[in-house]
Structure 1
Amino acid sequence: MSESGVRSRRRAYIEQRPMDVGGGVWSVPVPIPGNPLGYTLVYAVESPGGPVLIDAGWNHPDAWLALTEGLASVGMDVADVRGVVVTHYHPDHSGLAGQVRESSGAWIAMHEADIALVRLFRDVVKDGNHKDFQADMLRRAGADSHEVAEGVANRPEPPALPDLSLSDGDLIDLPGRRLRTIWTPGHSPGHICLHLEDTDRLFTGDHVLPDITPHIGIYPYDRNDVDPLGDFMTSLLRVTELGPIEALPAHEIRFPDVSARAAEIHTHHEEKLQSLQTLLAETPEPLTIWEVAARMTWNRPWDQLPPMLRGMAAGEAAAHLRTLEVRDVIERTADEPVRFVIHS
C-alpha cells in the first residue's frame, strides 16, 4: 500500500517468464487479475522427494494455467509437487494451494497464527456474517455509508485449510535440503520468511520487498490488544541479523542484500510515525481512523483511491496509530467511532 519513495522495478506480467534462479530453485510468475501488483512470484524448490512450492498464487483460472504451464516449462509437473509452504494467508499467496493439493496430494503448511485466521474467516463465511463484520468495522473507523457499501463488495473466499502448522525455527519437509521457518509477523500475524540454509538465501514473501513496503494493518481497525507495526519492525531487525544475503521476494524482483533493505524499511516507518505524531499534535480535535488515513500520504491522492485501497489505507493508519499508542504518545477516546489525540 505505501511506497518507500522509489519507483518499483517490477516488470509487467506480460514480460515475465518462468526462470531458473540457481541452486535448484525456479520462479514462476502467477498473475493477480485486476491488481496493480500484477503477479506473485511462486518459487519451486527442487528436492529428491519432489518440488516444494513457496506460495501458490491467486485462485483464478488464468493463475492456475500460468502456474501449471510455468512449472511444466521448467520440467516439473504439478502432480509431483510434494508440498506448498504459504508465507501468509493473503489470497495472492494462498489462493491456489488447495487446487495444488487436489492435483497432487501435496500438504499445505502455514504458520499457526495465520491458520487460526483462516479458520476464523471460514467460520465467518460459513455463518454468512462476513459482510456484516466488514461493514461494522468500516463504520467504527469513521467511513460513511457509501464507503461502507463499496468496501464490503467482492471480497475473495478464504483459502484452503492447511494440513501442517509451522512455528518459528521449524524445518520444512524437504528431503536433502534445509529450509527453515523464520516467523516475521507484521504483514500478517503468521507471516514467515524461509531461509534456504544450503544456499544461504531468503524467501521473503511480502516481509521485505525491494522497492515498495508491504501493507501493515489492523483488522478490526480499532483493536487495542495487538501491535502489528511494532511486530513488523521487530521482525525487520531480526532479518537484518542474517547479513547481506540474497532475497527472493514474492513480488517485484530478486535483490542481493536483504539486511540493508530491511533496515531501510525500518527507517521509513519510523519517519512515518514521526509524521503522524506531528499531524496529531497540530490538529486540535481528536481524529477518527478514517480521518487520519485521509490526511496521510499514500502512493496516490486519497480521493483517487478505490474503496478497497481506502480500506487498506485505514488499516495501515490504524496500525501506525496503535504503535504510537503503545509508545504512550497518543491516546484514544471512548467515542464510537474511536478517535485519537496526542497524549495529555
Structure 2
Amino acid sequence: MAELIYKNPDIYKIPVTLPNNPLKILNSYVIRTPDENLVIDTGFNQPECLEALTAGLKELCIDMDHTTLFLTHLHSDHVGLTNDIITDKTRVLMSDVDYNYLKNEHDGAFWPWMEEKFYHEGLSRDLIELQRKVNPARAFAPKYLFRAETVSDHECFSIGGHILECLWTPGHTPGHMCLYLKKEKILFSGDHILFDITPNITMWRGIDDSLGNYLESLRKIQSLDIHLTLPGHRGNDMDVYERIQQIQQHHDRRIRQTLSIIQKNPGLNACQIGAQMTWSMRGKNWDEFPIQQKWFAIGETISHLDYLIERGEIVRHTDKEIFYYNALVNEI
C-alpha cells in the first residue's frame, strides 16, 4: 500500500518486497502532480516485486505515459523492473556513469572481470561458481538494456514545477546519484545514506578508490541543508547529519582494523583478511556466511585495502596469481 509521506509536492512511498533478501524492502518513491509524475527506483526483476510496485502505481493512478522514472544507481534491486513498467513515452533518467556500467554488464564484460578479480583476491573457483547461481544482482537484473537519458552532476529537471537536482555521489556504485528538492530541503538518498544498515562499498572496474570516493560523497551531502532524507531501504528515524557521522566512524574503525590485521599478519590475501574482520552476521562465523554475503564482505574488504594502498599504508603484491598485502610500517 502506498503511503503519503509529504504534502506539496505529494510524495508517496511504495514498499516493494524483496523476497528472501536481507534488505527486505525497496522504497520506491512517487512524486505525484496534476500534470506529471516522478517514480524513483523499481525493485528486482521478480514477480513479487512487480506485483507490489504495479499495485502501488495503480493505487496512485500513475500513468507511465506522463511519468519520469529516475534510477538512483545500477543495482538490480533499483533498476530490475524498468523494462516492465515503462512505456514508449516514459522518460528514464540515470547517471551517465552507471548507465555505461550497465551497458558493459549486458555486453558480457562486467561479470567475467568481477569473477577474475575475486579469484585473484583469494576466493576459490568453487565458491565463485556457487555465487554465480545465487547472486541476486545477476539473477534479478533487467533481461535487456533499457533506454535511458543520462544525467550529470548538478543537472536539474522539473516535475510539476518542482525542481530536482541530480547529485553525483560515487562510492556505493561509480555513478550513484541522489536527488535533492532544494526548496523543500528533501533528499532522496538512494543507497548512499541508509539509516539502520551501512551501505556496501565494494571495488569497481576502473575505479582506484571506491571508499575514498564514498567518503568524499558523504561530505558533499553533509554540506546540504536537509530537512527530510528518504533512503532506498528501511526507515529514516535519525538526523541525517548524525547518521553521516556514524557511517564515517564505522569506516574509520574498519580502516584501522584492516591495517591492524595486515600489520599483525603480513602476507594475507583479501579473503583471509575479510575472515578476520568484524561483520554484522548474528551468531555466524566466517565459514557459515552464505556465499552472497561473503561476496559482499570480500568486496568491501577490497575497497578498504584499495583505500590504504592509495594512502601509502600498505602494498599489494602477487604470488602465483593471488594478491597478498603487507603494511609499509609494521605495528610497534
TM-score, structure 1 length as denominator?
0.87
Are 2:260 and 1:274 aligned? no
Give 1:39 deviation, angstroms: 1.2
Are 2:122 and 1:142 aligned? yes
Are 2:313 and 1:333 aligned? no
| The 10-residue stretch of structure 1 (235-244 or 82-91) with the greater mean CA deviation from structure 2 | 235-244
Deviations 1:257-313 (A, max 9, x none): 222211221121011101111111111x31111111111111122122111111111
Query: Which of residues 49, 61, 68 in structure 2 aligns to 1:83?
Result: 68
The 1:85/1:130 distance shift into structure 2, 3 A limit, reads closer
2:27 alignment counterpart: 41
The 1:184/1:130 distance shift into structure 2, 3 A limit, reads closer
Q: Is the 8 A contact 2:40 2:69 kept in 1?
A: yes
Distance 2:212 2:112 in 1: 29
Q: Is the 8 A contact 1:55 1:87 kept in 2?
A: yes
The 1:203/1:303 distance shift into structure 2, 3 A limit, reads same
Give 1:254 deviation, angstroms: 2.8
Q: Is the 8 A contact 2:16 2:49 kept in 1?
A: yes
2:57 alignment counterpart: 71
* 1:142-221 equivalence runs, <5 A: 142-154=122-134, 155-156=138-139, 158-159=141-142, 160-219=145-204
Q: Is the 8 A contact 2:133 2:139 kept in 1?
A: no
Q: Is the 8 A contact 2:315 2:325 kept in 1?
A: yes
Distance 1:197 1:117 in 2: 29
- Give 1:118's aligned amino acid: L
- Give 2:148's aligned amino acid: D
Distance 2:173 2:220 in 1: 16
The 1:31/1:52 distance shift into structure 2, 3 A limit, reads same
Distance 2:187 2:230 in 1: 6
2:102 alignment counterpart: 118
Q: Is the 8 A contact 1:29 1:41 kept in 2?
A: yes
Distance 1:35 1:171 in 2: 34
- SS of equivalent to 1:338: strand
**RMSD value, Cα:** 1.9
Q: Is the 8 A contact 1:47 1:177 kept in 2?
A: no
* 1:284-303 equivalence runs, <5 A: 285-300=266-281, 301-303=285-287
Distance 1:28 1:251 in 2: 11
Distance 2:308 2:34 in 1: 49
Distance 2:260 2:5 in 1: 45
- SS of equivalent to 2:19: coil
Give 1:136 deviation, angstroms: 2.4
Deviations 1:6-35 (A, max 9, x none): xxxxxxxxxxx4200013100000111221
Give 1:196 deviation, angstroms: 1.3
Number of aligned positions between the proteins: 318
- SS of equivalent to 1:40: strand
Distance 1:138 1:174 in 2: 42
Give 1:132 deviation, angstroms: 4.4
Give 1:97 deviation, angstroms: 1.5
1:264 alignment counterpart: 246
Distance 2:274 2:289 in 1: 11
- Give 2:57's aligned amino acid: L
- Give 1:42's aligned amino acid: S
Query: Which of residues 300, 305, 317 in structure 1 aligns to 2:301?
Result: 317
The 1:246/1:193 distance shift into structure 2, 3 A limit, reads same
Distance 1:306 1:78 in 2: 40
Runs of 4+ in 1 over 6 A off after TM superposition: none
- SS of equivalent to 2:156: coil
Q: Is the 8 A contact 1:51 1:81 kept in 2?
A: yes
More strand by share: 2
Are 2:52 and 1:52 aligned? no
The 1:61/1:157 distance shift into structure 2, 3 A limit, reads closer
- Give 2:166's aligned amino acid: T
Deviations 1:182-201 (A, max 9, x none): 11100000001110123211
- Give 1:119's aligned amino acid: K
2:12 alignment counterpart: 26
Give 1:315 deviation, angstroms: 0.6
Are 2:206 and 1:233 aligned? no
Distance 2:66 2:237 in 1: 27
Distance 1:218 1:175 in 2: 38
Any unmatched runs of 5+ in structure 1? 1-16
Identity level (%): 29
Q: Is the 8 A contact 1:87 1:93 kept in 2?
A: yes
Give 1:92 deviation, angstroms: 0.5
